[in-house]
Amino acid sequence: MSRYQHVITSCTLITGSGGAFEFTVNGELLYSKLSKQRRHADAGEILALFREYIGSGVMEYPQ
């Protein structure tokens, strides 16, 4: 996510019991093990959802 620090206002990972969590960006729910996807995220899935959220026109922050 650090490669997109120039477009993130806020990023929140809310954990719960039993490995449940929700991931929101700028107040929008992108992933929820509890209510949306109802399963654990696959490797790279959260980042892929974030990239989809910001759109393909946003370049990565230079390192």
Q: What is the pLDDT of residues 12-53, one digit of tens each?
A: 778 888 788 888 888 888 988 888 788 888 999 988 999 999
CA geometry: angle 59, 60, 61, nearest 5 deg = 115
pLDDT at site 20: 83
Q: CA 50 to CA 13: how far, in whole Å?
A: 13
Looking at residue 16, what DSSP letter applies?
A: -
Q: How confident is the model at residue 58 (pLDDT cuts 50, 70, 90)?
A: confident
Q: CA 48 to CA 19: how far, in whole Å?
A: 20
pLDDT at site 1: 76
pLDDT at site 39: 86
pLDDT at site 52: 93
pLDDT at site 48: 92
